[in-house]
Structure 1
Amino acid sequence: MRLSFLEPLYAEPGPYASVYLDTSRDVEHPERAIALRWGRLRESLSRQGADRALTNALEEAVGSDAEIPGVHGQAVFAAHGTLVLDGELPEPPEHDSARYSTLPDAVPLVTQHVPEIPYMAVVVHYGGLPTAETHGWVTLEAETGTWPTSTVTPGERLRRRVAVATWHRSCVRLGHRLDEQARRARADAVVVGGDEWACNVLVRRLPHTLRDKIVRVGGPTPTHTGRALLEPQLDGVFRGRMAALDRELVDVFIGRRALDGPVAEGLAATVAALQRGQVAALLVNRLPGSSPQLWVGSQPTQLALTEAELASFGVRAPREERADEALVRALVGTRAELVVVAESELRLHEGVGALLRYADPRVPS
């Protein structure tokens, strides 16, 4: 999983105000409810030392996602009186929160991006007579996205309306268009729902490369919800699954570890590799959370297990920060990837390991 979406956040130095709140529109008077939540968070930020310019910058963004219907949340970050990142959450946070700190509280936002699976969703509706397959129209809508965040930030949608009489022939041309769209999105899966007859005709005429990725789903297939196509079905398809690229990285790690190749494992070894910008991908069974803490400096690669180690690198005024926040900043700063893998699939020492960009030179014995 690439963390490039966080790059604007770390382009500014701290301190940061980090706000997470429920901005769902499935309640009566949602704007009033959001305003009440924000009022409490604004007071909390003021008590923590945030100035008015900072809270005003946040206030302009809070609740600005009114066009998104249903249940969702918002993650908003500001520094030095300027909004630096406004992210949508497919699920509301468990608790509204606001922090004013030297590093941004980006981990809950990262967690809601996992596992970041690219896909294409296709819905086909047949609008003809119930006993005829030669009259009426077939409508097709297709949309690429990255699950789960695309449930609240759906991508550009392809729409086609085809006469039933020409549906068999049109599917060949449509299949090539869908294949091109799926390739651009690097889709791991193509989730198809809708009318069974029309879907069967389409699937049989898709290119083989696309047909191998088909996942058929049932259930209601509305297309005007303002959310992602096939949103309820996507959860059933992708929950507990890893993105194909992440799976490849896990397999590479397992192979390298078996051959004593360029990997690191355990917090100390991984932090040492991050200091050198050596990490291509960080693998975690879970992000370490607030404990243990790491010592950090002003730069992403300035992190260490102890204050003395960081001071030995010439870092002035090192400070203690949450390990997960320090690791995320280091990954963004060095453009490394993050892979969350279950312990049942790969048990990592201290829950953390890394694929390295290069191996350390071996010292002759």
Structure 2
Amino acid sequence: MNLTALRETLDHQGPFASVHLDASHDTEDAAKQAELRWRAVREELAGRHTPESTLGALEGALDRPPPVGRAGRLLVAAGDTVLVDEYLPSPPPTPMVRVSELPYLLPLADWGHRGVPHVVVSADRTGADLLAVDRDGTEHAEDVAGQEFPVHKVRGGGMAHHNIQSNAEENARRNIVEAAEEATRLVQRIEAELLVLVGDPESRSQLREALPDKLRRTVTVAEIEHNRTSDPDHDTVDQDVANLIAQRRRAERDEVLDRFGEAGGHGLAVQGLRDTTAALREGKVDVLLVDARTIGDATVLVGSEPNMVAVDREDLHRVGVSERIAARADEALPAAALAVGARVVAATGDEPRLDLAGGVGALLRYT
């Protein structure tokens, strides 16, 4: 879900019903389990006086067939409209059900859930299969059929031997070039951060060389050894690609934390609720960091605009704003960050804890 769509949720009036639940569909009784989970969630929402129109909207969303596999799902609704409906790579340890004046969006910013737009190219001399996965997890499949004859060097051929050899080389070269061109188009289309080249060593090397220099400088290019003919469904590649994506997430996490450590010495990083809320009020936040396990049930005050957040009334009154509501910090701070165009990154699951005072901090655009 893109930032613009998320920001638009803040234009709606609460109360918001936010549900983060297990949406796995990987067992024979998955449909029954999903029904039981929704029944429990519905009872809890009804017990919190959620309007029937909101319950109906959520129920309608859950009626749609889920994807096969293990997954989590975050839904946010207000009135009779579902504002957020996102599948996540893994389910939460326990269901999370909230009815509050602000939406609960933090799971979308979890390190382990961040979408890494990527393109996988499985190529050989006969053609290529391409799969692009955008930031929202939507898949786009393409194939490059290549030239059918001839595609391999031959030993015989009589007087035409050299021509056949030349044609084989030219067709193989053209197939690789077409695969590189299609890969480049897909990378640009989904703004990919990772390009994975799959195939035998020669095909991967030729494919890498056929990529534009600019693409190789701006996108991470990785390689996986694989035989496209013997494994056309790419089953053996999936886990390797998942590992590469996980590595990229960890590298990004480390890079942000390194930036945070370095920025602190130059006044470009803050931590703790008071300093972080002050930076959000001033619109200075570039990246908001939240450790949901440390911030816990902490609350803040929210004024008339989403980024008008503070620990106490005096902080708001000093900028001429009256508090409108008291809200959970793990709801109010991501909303404030979205309002000022900041990126939100969070640790909510099994990742190492972020060493932040009060579980919150921010990288600043300026001092």
TM-score by length of 1: 0.77
CA contact (8 A) 2:295 2:329 kept: yes
Q: 1:16 deviation in Å?
A: 0.7
CA contact (8 A) 1:116 1:243 kept: no
CA contact (8 A) 2:313 2:323 kept: no
Query: 2:184 maps to which residue?
Result: 179
Give distance in 1, aligned partners of 2:188 and 2:255.
Answer: 18
Give distance in 2, aligned partners of 1:186 and 1:102.
Answer: 34
Q: Alpha-carbon deviations, 1:148-169, whole Å to 9, x = none?
A: x52xx32x22321113342222
Q: Alpha-carbon deviations, 1:281-307, whole Å to 9, x = none?
A: 224566753243212234212211124
For residues 1-365 of structure 1, what are the structure 2 equivalents within 5 Å?
A: 3-66=3-66, 68-111=67-110, 114-124=113-123, 137-146=126-135, 150=137, 153-154=138-139, 156-162=140-146, 163=148, 164=151, 165=168, 166-195=171-200, 198-211=203-216, 213-218=220-225, 230-242=237-249, 256-258=263-265, 260-284=266-290, 288-310=294-316, 313=319, 315-316=321-322, 318-339=324-345, 348-359=356-367
Give distance in 2, aligned partners of 1:347 and 1:92.
Answer: 25
* Amino acid corresponding to residue 57 of structure 1 in structure 2: A
* Amino acid corresponding to residue 11 of structure 1 in structure 2: D
CA contact (8 A) 1:3 1:331 kept: no
* Amino acid corresponding to residue 198 of structure 2 in structure 1: G
CA change 1:220–1:104 in 2 (3 A) is: farther
CA change 1:299–1:113 in 2 (3 A) is: farther
Which of these two proteins has the greater Rg computed from alpha carbons? 2
* Amino acid corresponding to residue 58 of structure 1 in structure 2: L
Give distance in 2, aligned partners of 1:139 and 1:241.
Answer: 25
Q: Alpha-carbon deviations, 1:5-31, whole Å to 9, x = none?
A: 522322212111112233322222433
Gaps of 5+ in 1: 127-132, 360-365
Q: Alpha-carbon deviations, 1:121-155, whole Å to 9, x = none?
A: 2223x5xxxxxx7xxx4332231433xx52xx32x
Deviates more, 1:113-122 or 1:329-338: 113-122
Q: 1:47 deviation in Å?
A: 0.6
CA contact (8 A) 1:122 1:229 kept: no
* Amino acid corresponding to residue 354 of structure 1 in structure 2: A
* Amino acid corresponding to residue 182 of structure 2 in structure 1: R
* Amino acid corresponding to residue 208 of structure 2 in structure 1: V
SS of corresponding position for 2:326: strand
Q: Alpha-carbon deviations, 1:178-229, whole Å to 9, x = none?
A: 234324444332112245554344334333444563212257987769xx99
CA change 1:313–1:93 in 2 (3 A) is: same
CA contact (8 A) 1:48 1:100 kept: yes
CA contact (8 A) 2:111 2:253 kept: no
CA change 1:208–1:290 in 2 (3 A) is: same
Count of residue pairs brought into register by the alignment: 340
Q: 1:322 deviation in Å?
A: 1.9
Give distance in 1, aligned partners of 2:87 and 2:352.
Answer: 30
Deviates more, 1:267-276 or 1:160-169: 160-169
CA change 1:291–1:35 in 2 (3 A) is: closer
TM-score by length of 2: 0.77
CA change 1:327–1:176 in 2 (3 A) is: same
Deviates more, 1:37-46 or 1:4-13: 4-13
Q: 1:172 deviation in Å?
A: 2.2
Hey, which of these two has a bigger chunk of helix by percent? 2
* Amino acid corresponding to residue 182 of structure 1 in structure 2: V
SS of corresponding position for 1:241: helix
CA contact (8 A) 1:121 1:229 kept: no
Report percent identity of matched pairs.
Answer: 30
Give distance in 1, aligned partners of 2:2 and 2:330.
Answer: 16
Q: 1:92 deviation in Å?
A: 2.3
* Amino acid corresponding to residue 53 of structure 2 in structure 1: A
Query: 2:156 maps to which residue?
Result: none
* Amino acid corresponding to residue 160 of structure 1 in structure 2: V
CA change 1:234–1:3 in 2 (3 A) is: farther
Q: Alpha-carbon deviations, 1:38-76, whole Å to 9, x = none?
A: 11111111011112111001100014243x222223221
Give distance in 1, aligned partners of 2:344 and 2:227.
Answer: 34
Q: 1:112 deviation in Å?
A: 6.3
CA change 1:97–1:270 in 2 (3 A) is: closer
* Amino acid corresponding to residue 108 of structure 1 in structure 2: P
SS of corresponding position for 2:182: helix
Give distance in 1, aligned partners of 2:76 and 2:115.
Answer: 21
Give distance in 1, aligned partners of 2:97 and 2:65.
Answer: 18
Give distance in 2, aligned partners of 1:351 and 1:23.
Answer: 28
Give distance in 2, aligned partners of 1:218 and 1:232.
Answer: 13
Q: 1:257 deviation in Å?
A: 3.6
Give distance in 1, aligned partners of 2:277 and 2:337.
Answer: 11
CA RMSD of aligned residues (A): 3.7
CA contact (8 A) 1:2 1:337 kept: no
Give distance in 2, aligned partners of 1:28 and 1:9.
Answer: 36
